[in-house]
Structure 1
Amino acid sequence: MTFLNPLILLALAAAVIPIVVHLFHFRRPQSLPFSSLAFLKSLQQNALERLRIRQWLLLLLRVLALVCLVLAFAQPVVRGPLAAWMGGSSAAAVGLVVDNSPSMQVRDALGAYLEQAKAVARGILEQVEAEGSVCLVPVAGAASTASPLPRAVALERLEGLTVHYGAEKLSTSIRRAQDCLKQTGASGIVYVISDLQATALRDSLAQPLQDPVPTVLIPVGGQTPANLAVVEVRVESQIIEQGQPVHIVATLANYGAAPVGNVLTVLELDGQRVAQATADLPAGGTTRVALAAVPVRRGWLEGTVRVLQPDAFPDDNVRALVLHVPEVRRLLLVAGRQAQTEYLELALSPALRQDRVPFEVTRIEEAALAATALQDYDVVVLAGVQDLSSGELAQLSRYVAEGGGLLLFPGQEIQLEAYQALLRQLEGGQLRGLRGRWNASVPMATFDRVDLGHPVFEHLFVRLPGQQAVRIERPAVYAALHYVAGEGDEHTLIQLSNGLPLLQEIRHGRGRVLLWTIGPDLSWSELPLRGLFVPLLYRTVFYLSAPNESSEALLAGRPATLRIVDLPANAVPELVSPEGLVYRATPEYHAGTGVLRFDPGPSYPGVYQLRAGDSWQRKLAVHLAPEESDLRPIEAEEAVQWLQAALEGPVTLLHVAQPTAKEVVAVLQQAQTGRALWNVFLWLALGFLVLEMWVTLRTRMETVTLQGA
């Protein structure tokens, strides 16, 4: 509490007057002879005691009446925390944190949350001195550091403020505003205007502020709107071919308080609706929806998964996806000395393919392997290579680790020591010699177990009507390498009837290796003559050339990092939005991989084109961060506690009933000026005086009665 006329408080010295009068104005009672009514002396003594108590009560009432009168003329005012921090006047510098995250698009009876927040901010800026400084900090789409602005410039930027993606935690924005205020060197205050979205407040990392500036939280909105969102789209099929189904799983989330039934989800590819499904979503839960599409052309295909359900936040009802059906698969066939590769080359030849499968095959002898740039090829096929130098071993290992595919066929003249060294480099198992005999008349084994769940065998075998199991050809095998799996990431795709692996997958780094324990000619098995050979060879090539991992998660409004193996040298990478916005990055090369960092990253969701030079390009899907779809707010008092814990500084809550500039000005003025209490003290003084008169009257009446007695 403060006083508008503090000098009047000097009159409080007048409160001493009743005390002095009481202490020095004694009236000694006179002794009067009376009759022998001795019993009246006891009654007289009790009456005197009551009289003394009432005299002290009169003293107290007179002092309180004088004090209240003096306080009333001093004009006391109760000030809130805002005025206490600001000294009862406008602040020389103001920090203004305005929430412009996607959740601020939600509307209620007073309009969009962002427009309400801007109205509150305008009211705050009206209270700033003309020469004062303003630190305007949006929570999304702003620079990493903020600088003080003149009030007029801050108003102009406030009017142009729009919703952006990639919002940071509210406590982080407050720290930036406080750092900005410290640049001004003046005392100030930080206002935070937000819808109090819970995911934007819950910052588990507490970072204490040095010399914290007082912070005032002003909530807008506050309702919990129903919202459905497509929070994830995953391509299940690892091999994507023209004319073959691609399986896609979409995850839907319901952030509302009530379940939603029969939600229609559609899959669009190249602008055409190709699949749809319905699902029921529990309140506050998720549901997975399976969809399938058949690419009808090669190249980069853009698609979307969309929920046809209107809600408060339509931006997250659609999620982009990109499918890549390669125009051509580049194969490097490395043929060993005296290796028999006729069946292999025939299966990959254009005459047999009839241009149905886009293979571009380059054949070299094993002597040329060391001088060949392997990164120019999607798959490297080693067919009967006899020996491998240490440089070639390191070259092949690095190629696979960076995401390449390696297909190994042994030959009759191979050096087991060289292959053992290669397998060690690839974190594979061991070769323990040869089982069986080449060109034998009696087979040693045949196909026994096939992992039909592996992507290599997807769409390769068809179960005929009435069949309980898939029928698989079982070609005879005359000789095979004795391979023992290691402790790395390995998997047997085809196993022989004698328990040995026939086709083994080895994962190394970001790439894959498929090891055949038989050669691609008739001396090892009759497989090259079977109808299974060509489609199985195609599927292994497709599998090895497919990306070994899903596209890196790119989130709108967040910095992006991409790792590209085949990035052209001396090219300037660019990320181009559907609207034509260009984001450039300077590549850094680590172990042959180009690392691209885009900061700032892509601003909006959608399909972006990554290009470098005239002939190299990719397409990438940029998504909305899943946490931005959860619109559920937190209670204002709980938000204050979260911010105080994260900042370890003072945070005060300020409610604005109607978020208009006029209302904000009125609330702030009341917080600064406070509530006048002079009338309260005046009424108290009058009350004490009335009570004093009543007590005085009763005292006189009792005194008269006592004297009469």
Structure 2
Amino acid sequence: MSFGALAFLNPWLLAALATLPLIYWLLRTVPPSPRQITFPPTRILVGLENQEKTPAASPWWLTLIRLLAAALLIFALAEPVLNPSRDAALKGTGPVAIVVDNGWASAARWNERTRMIDHVITEAEGQSRPIVVVPTASTGKNYAARIEAPSEARSTAAALIPQPFAPDRLAAVTALDNALAGAKGTSIVWLSDDIDHDGKSAEVADKLRALTEGGTFAVIQDGRSAEPLGVSAGIGQSGKLEARVLRPQGSSRAGFVHAISTRGQSLAEAPFKFGAGENLNTVAFELPLELRNQVGRVEIAGERSAGAVSLIDARSQWHRVALISGESREQAQPLLAPLYYIEKALNPYAELIKPKGSNLAAGIKEALAQNASVLMLADIGTLSGEAAKHVEEWVKKGGVLVRFAGPRLENGGDDLLPVPLRVGGRTLGGALSWSTPQKLAAIEDNSLFAGTPVPPEVTVSRQVLADPAMLGPEVNVWARLQDGTPLVTERKLGDGQIILFHVTANSDWSNLPLSGLFVEMLRRISALGGGVADGGGTGTSGESAADTPAVLPPLQTLDGFGILAPPPPTAQPVAAAKVHDLVPSLDHPPGYYGAGGSPRAVNVLGPKSTLKPLPSLPTGTERLSYESESAQPMKAWLLFAALALLFADIIAVILLQSGGLALRRRRPAHAALALMIFGAAALLSAPGVDAQPVDVPPTPGAVSTQATDERAIEATSKVTIGYVLTGDQTVDETSRLGLDGLGRLLAVRTAVEPGRPMGVNILTDEIAFYPVLYWPVLPDAKALPEETLAKIDAYMKQGGLIIFDTQDYGRGVAGGTPGLGESALQRIIGKLDVPRLEPVPENHVLTKAFYLLRNFPGRWDGGQLWVEALDNSSGADQSRRARVSDGVTSIIVTPNDLAAAWALDEGGRPLYPTVGGGEDQREMAFRTGINIVMHALTGNYKADQVHVPALLERLGQ
């Protein structure tokens, strides 16, 4: 006789339950407890009563104990059995097929599966039926299934172990169909893992049901919130290390996810909790950057499977990336700023360091001091002096230097480039030009960006060109244009790397920064910085594409239980271009692939993985759970419970007889409560002392702070033009008088009311207060120290304008390209990051800033005026020079001695004659100066065509 999951082998003994009322009547009484009487000698007989005592009723709880003991004894003699043998699952006369899901999801409860397999084999053996054991995740190239005797089937089942990849159920069904060819009355038991891995589980169930001709088909599933769990770890949108915990379905469930270091140390844990029906829960780890980069794996506590482990490699680590630009950060038009797109691309994957100052050398020093592993420079043409040495040493120790092209780099750059560049760029409509913008070629397999699709809409209209003769085997080309021109090049330097994008970091030269390809490129480059542990550490993972093989061999792999071990014999190398999207299999199990210093992780679950439950099963399918795998006799447990109750009854009777459990009302004892009063210790405090100012004697030779502040206030109270003091009294006085004379005309002819010009010691004085700096270059000028060059470089890149006046046209040594025939000027600016220069073009803003000019004379006429070269990639791009300093050229070079032509005495009379053109030439010289100042103050206002239609419309009205 059975009642659901409970059956009785001797059900007739249950009739004894009818005797429970009689047992109740017999056991309801208990002898009265003896009464305690004092026995003083004088009162032996006083108070004694000679009455016959009747038994008192026993307490209700004692009667209940006795009845439960009797009932349990009767149930035990009836021999109840929990989960009796379900022979219906093995009905039939043919073979018994055991289909076992032994993929990664089965590992967590593998012991239950092995017990279930043994139970099914035992039942089949009792019915003298042969057995077929078929794993769905095969350990060999081909699935093999054969009918065996029960003893052989046990050996086959004992050899099964979980595999670290998803099962191939259709292949297993095909092998089973071949083994059962012609068999009738087959019973099939499918030990599932509750997950629809490939969306074909319904088809598998239908085929298995069709194989059971005259037999039964049973599916055994997990229960009691024991469904398999999986995890996928990576960097989330918030920048934290996140773990995505997955499951197919189930009720409420909670647990923990651990972050483990490569040495096996637990660095952090985060709780997760599933509500009923939820199948995804994301948790984040609160870790500092140094600890976060030590995480080697993320695993679910108590879940022993390959899917419950997510290995971490350099792609999932965060690194400090320093960003430095050759131009100031644009606040009004951020979309045009050089670093805008880099910041947007790297924000989810790296910790960004953006030095606050404009000094290039100081910014590099600050970035390296903060342990940056990747340094990105946007349009920095020349690195020189101590800054170049520091960067070179840092790269050799494992740092990754990434540089982006720009107008400054068109001059040829420096030695910290992967390949020498040709002077000048390649642009639409110019020399070495294209007729249409060039598209990108497909990424090659030996590139760091291998496997990344190239969007067809990405085009390049301008670039810097690598010298073809210098493209040796040490230079790697990671991206090309369709005509074969290198777009991204790389070279190894020591333990580090130097990478160059031959286009700008913004959209001036290409729309690459607007694409998802740019994001993926920077993400992979930022991962190269994993070899720099600190500012002086030795790199271990700064590998170049030449060092990265096209095929990555297996280094360590996970077994089905999520344990790293040497790769099995079946493991095969994987192509480097496919490792990012690899699906684990027998040939490519999850684990680490590649070199030991910088392996790539392959995980069971990825950032887009989901776990789906099994679909509806065919009609007639029996659904069982692993909890019902075998019958559980309950006789012993019931006898033990009855014996325990009888023992409790004995103890209760003894206590009742002794009066220990007598229910008497007793007055509670009033215990005195002792209160300890602690005296408060007096707080000793010193009497307050008012702070008094301390007079600190000034340091000998130091510049007075008060004088410096007064100078700054004077320089900024009005528009002030500065001139560099050369040490030659005559030249310095000419510069002062010349700028003073120019200031007089500015006040008369324009709205500018300049202050008196101020001399500047270029070595010690701050130059950020002056929008224009006039610098007469003497023939014996000496080279400047590194600190001064860094200050000048920052001034020019932040919108300052320097007029270098060599004053040598009258001596007949000027007129050529600056830097070739002018040794004095070359000594001064040779190490500066000077942009490419060109003669003033006809449409330059300088020709129309206030006056319309064709030439720019000074005391001399005929010398060429040089300015910063404009971006001539297209006419539309001219308006885009509005960023940074509104298109103001940062440098002007002239040999015409402008200050001498502007110099006036107190009465307004010229001090020096103009050579060649008389007073008309002096007037043009003044107009040149006015245009230069107005250009520095108003920028590309005269070139701005945005408001022309509105102005014309108003004129028409």
Please confirm whether the aligned pair reaches a TM-score higher than 0.5, indicating the same fold.
no
Q: Which has the higher contact order (CA 8 A, sep 6+)?
A: 1
TM, length-normalised to structure 1: 0.42
